[in-house]
Amino acid sequence: MGMRYIFIIMSLMLVIGCQQSEEENFPVYNSQNSVDWSGKYFGVLPCADCEGIETEIELFSDLTFIRSMKYLGKSEITFADEGKFSWNEKGNKIILKSEKANFKDNFFVGENILIQLDKNGDRIKGNLSQHYILKKK
Nearest-angstrom CA–CA distance, 72 and 47: 9
Q: What is the mean pLDDT of the chain?
A: 86
Residue 47 in any domain: the answer is yes
Q: Could you tell me the CATH number of the domain that includes residue 66? A: 2.40.128.640
Rounded Cα gap, residues 51 and 72, in angstroms:
5
Is the pLDDT confidence value at 21 over 50? Answer: no
In a domain, 109, yes or no: yes
Q: What is the pLDDT of residues 85-105, one digit of tens each?
A: 999 999 999 999 987 777 789
pLDDT of residue 8: 61
* Residue span of the structural domain in which 57 resides: 37-136
What proportion of the chain, given as a percentage, has pLDDT over 90? 65
Residues facing 55 on adjacent strands: 43, 69
Average pLDDT over residues 35-53: 94
In a domain, 18, yes or no: no
pLDDT at 6 over 70: no
Number of domains, the chain: 1
Are 74 and 50 contacting, i.e. CB atoms less than 8 angstroms apart? yes
89 lies in a domain? yes
Residue 3 domain-assigned (yes or no): no
| Of the candidate ranges 9-23, 68-82, 90-104, the one whose mean pLDDT is the lowest | 9-23
